[in-house]
């Protein structure tokens, strides 16, 4: 098993859900955490807990991954000691709405595509050249079972996750020979703020998504991310597809 102690782990969307929990899991490994999200206050609230959990250091900064110029300037402005990123976790992402495609809102489509696809590309483009130069690094991106099979009302979100799968696959080919590793972690339903964000704060509707079944927890996903990142340097985990026992694919659930 490779050690993560002292490694620089950069997580986008670390202010909530899977990202925040993944930060905690890497903290337990003694990593140095470089954390970004739009809500800097939320990141700052988590700092002490991460240090107490074992993080060697924590550096938080505000970032909107949809803003290409901001991504470029924020990454270039990082203190030199935070530049050699060992692990990038492309986690920032969201879904908006559950409308039929032909009734969908253009602003919802744009927000999902700008965040989940273009944001992923901007951050990857800013970080991977340094990994290639140094001859080491690992890009772990959050895909989804939604990227494999669409579900009703989810066409655009599912398409963004299908894009993630193929961008990840293409990146793995492009870095072949550089020792940079590339992984997609593809969970099914995980209970986080995801549904609340999807339904713009309608908590009753969000709660229904998880009713009558046991969803994955953010800890389940964080464990898979840390596991992939801690394999020996010659082992590349290409994809981890994981669901709760109550989910078979994007559309089949066992609700009690
Ligand atoms: P979440 O609890 O809503 O957290 C999403 C995170 O992304 C937040 O920290 C949010 O931070 C950040 N984010 C959103 N837009 C951003 C932007 N423009 N720039 C920077 N950060 C941004 O949702 P989650 O479930 O943890 O989702 C994390 C990832 O897992 C997403 O890529 C999602 O598609 C994927 N995923 C989730 C599930 C699920 O069922 N929950 C299943 C499969 C895959 P700020 O709002 O502070 O910016």
Quote the percentage of the chain above a pLDDT of 90.
99
| Cα–Cα distance, 96 to 110 (Å, whole number) | 10
Residue of 107, 159, 194 to test ligand 1 pocket, by largest number of atoms within 8 Å of CB: 194
**Residue 12 structural domain:** 8-242
- Closest C-alpha to 216, from 255, 253, 183, 187: 187
Question: Quick check: is 1 in a domain?
Answer: no
Atom of ligand 1 nearest to the CA of 218: 26
Q: Is the dihedral of CA 88, 67, 17, 248 positive or negative?
A: negative
Q: State the chain's mean pLDDT as an integer.
A: 98
Residue nearest to atom 12 of ligand 1 (CA): 13
Residue of 16, 148, 189, 209 to test ligand 1 pocket, by largest number of atoms within 8 Å of CB: 16
pLDDT at 136 over 80: yes
pTM over 0.85: yes
Question: Quick check: is 254 in a domain?
Answer: no
Under the banding of pLDDT at 50, 70 and 90, the label for residue 63 is very high
| Cα–Cα distance, 171 to 19 (Å, whole number) | 22
- Region 232-254 average pLDDT: 98
* pLDDT score at 92: 99
Question: Quick check: is 26 in a domain?
Answer: yes
pLDDT at 51 over 80: yes
Residues 30/4, Cβ–Cβ less than 8 Å: yes
Residues 148/162, Cβ–Cβ less than 8 Å: yes
Cα 30 to middle of ligand 1, angstroms: 24
Under the banding of pLDDT at 50, 70 and 90, the label for residue 151 is very high
- Region 188-211 average pLDDT: 97
- Region 48-75 average pLDDT: 98
CATH number at residue 169: 3.40.50.720
Pairing status of strand 87-90 against strand 137-142: parallel
Question: Quick check: is 14 in a domain?
Answer: yes
* pLDDT score at 1: 64
* pLDDT score at 231: 98
pLDDT at 2 over 80: no
Catalytic annotation, pick one of 122, 151, 157, 210 = 157
Place of tokens 């193929």: 166
Question: Quick check: is 115 in a domain?
Answer: yes
3-state secondary structure of 216: strand
Question: Quick check: is 255 in a domain?
Answer: no
pLDDT at 73 over 90: yes
Instruction: For the beta carbon of residue 147, count every other beta carbon within 10 angstroms.
Output: 24
| Total number of domains constituting the chain | 1
> Is 122 in the active site?
no
Question: Quick check: is 159 in a domain?
Answer: yes
pLDDT at 230 over 70: yes
Task: Say if residue 78 is exposed, middle or buried (CB neighbours under 10 Å; 0-12, 13-18, 19+).
Answer: middle
Q: How far is CA 222 from CA 1, 170, 238, 256, in A?
A: 17, 24, 16, 27
Question: Quick check: is 206 in a domain?
Answer: yes
Residues 187/243, Cβ–Cβ less than 8 Å: yes
- Region 189-215 average pLDDT: 97
Give the DSSP letter of residue 114.
I
pLDDT at 202 over 90: yes
* pLDDT score at 90: 99
Model confidence over 6-22: pLDDT tens digits? 999 999 999 999 999 99
């Amino acid at each position: 098993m490779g050690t993560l102690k002292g490694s620089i782990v950069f997580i986008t969307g670390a202010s909530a859900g899977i990202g925040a929990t993944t930060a905690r899991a890497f903290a337990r490994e003694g990593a140095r955490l470089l954390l970004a999200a739009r809500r800097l206050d939320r990141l700052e609230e988590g700092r002490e807990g991460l240090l107490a959990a074992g993080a060697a250091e924590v550096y938080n900064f505000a970032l909107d991954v949809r803003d290409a110029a901001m991504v470029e300037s924020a990454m270039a402005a990082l203190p030199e000691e935070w530049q050699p990123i060992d692990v990038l976790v492309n986690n920032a992402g969201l879904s908006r709405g559950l409308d039929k495609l032909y009734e969908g809102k253009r602003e919802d489509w744009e927000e999902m595509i700008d965040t989940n696809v273009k944001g992923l590309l901007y951050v990857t483009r800013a970080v991977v050249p340094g990994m290639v130069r140094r001859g080491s690094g690992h890009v772990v991106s959050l895909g989804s079972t939604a990227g494999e099979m669409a579900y009703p009302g989810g066409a655009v979100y599912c398409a963004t996750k299908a894009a993630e799968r193929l961008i990840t696959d293409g990146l793995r080919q492009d870095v072949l020979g550089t020792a940079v590793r590339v992984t997609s972690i593809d969970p099914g339903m995980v209970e986080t703020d995801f549904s609340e964000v999807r339904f713009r704060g309608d908590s009753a509707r969000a709660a229904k998504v998880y009713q009558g079944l046991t969803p994955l927890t953010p800890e389940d996903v964080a464990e898979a991310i840390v596991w992939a990142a801690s394999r020996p340097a010659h082992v590349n985990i290409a994809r981890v597809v994981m669901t709760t026992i109550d989910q078979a694919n994007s559309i089949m659930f066992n609700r009690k």
